[in-house]
Homo-oligomer: A and B are copies of this chain.
Amino acid sequence: MTDSNMPVYTYKDFASDQEVRWCPGCDDYVVLKSIQKALPQMGRRKEEFVFISGIGCSSRFPYYVDTYGMHGIHGRAAAIATGVKLANRELSVWVASGDGDSLAIGGNHFIHLIRRNIDINLILFNNEIYGLTKGQFSPTSLMGQKTKSSPYGNIQPPFHPGELAIGSSSRFFARVPGGNTKMQQAVFIEAEKFKGTSIVEVLQNCVIFNDGAFDKYTDRAVKDDAQLYVEHGKPMIFGKNSDKGIVLDGLKLKVVTIGEDGVTEDDILVHDAKEKDTTLHLMLARLHMPVVTGIIRAVEEKTYDELCTERIEQMKSQAKFKSVNELFASGETYEVK
Interface residues of A (CB under 8 A from B): 105, 107-108, 111-112, 115-117, 139, 152, 155-160, 163-169, 248, 251-252, 277-280, 282-283, 286, 301, 304, 307-308, 311, 314-315
Contacts and interface: CB of A to CB of B under 8 A. Distances in A.
A166 B304 CA distance: 25
Contact of A139 (B115, B248, B251, B278): B115
Q: How many copies does the complex hold?
A: 2
B157 A168 contact: no
Contacts of A165: 167
B277 A279 contact: no
A47 B158 CA distance: 33
A152 B279 contact: no
Contacts of A152: 311, 314-315
B282 A158 contact: no
Contact of A252 (B156, B159, B252, B277): B277
Contact of A107 (B107, B158, B304, B311): B107
A116 B157 contact: yes
A212 to B, nearest CB: 24
A115 B156 CA distance: 8
- Give chain A's interface secondary structure class: helix
A282 B278 contact: yes
A310 to B, nearest CB: 8
Contact of A166 (B157, B167, B308, B314): B167
A105 B311 CA distance: 25
Contacts of A155: 304, 307-308, 311
A237 to B, nearest CB: 20
Contacts of A111: 107, 111, 159, 164
A277 B304 contact: no
A277 to B, nearest CB: 7
Given A157-B301, A165-B167, A167-B168, 14 more contacts: A107-B111, A107-B112, A112-B139, A115-B139, A115-B156, A116-B156, A152-B311, A159-B169, A160-B169, A164-B167, A164-B168, A166-B167, A252-B277, A252-B279
Nearest to A275: B251
Contact of A279 (B107, B160, B283): B283
A277 B164 CA distance: 15
A116 B169 CA distance: 22
A51 B52 CA distance: 40
A74 to B, nearest CB: 13
Nearest to A155: B307
A307 B159 CA distance: 17
A160 B111 CA distance: 12
A28 to B, nearest CB: 25
Contacts of A304: 155-157
Contacts of A160: 169
12 contacts: A111-B164, A115-B139, A115-B157, A116-B156, A117-B157, A159-B169, A163-B167, A163-B168, A164-B167, A251-B277, A251-B280, A252-B279
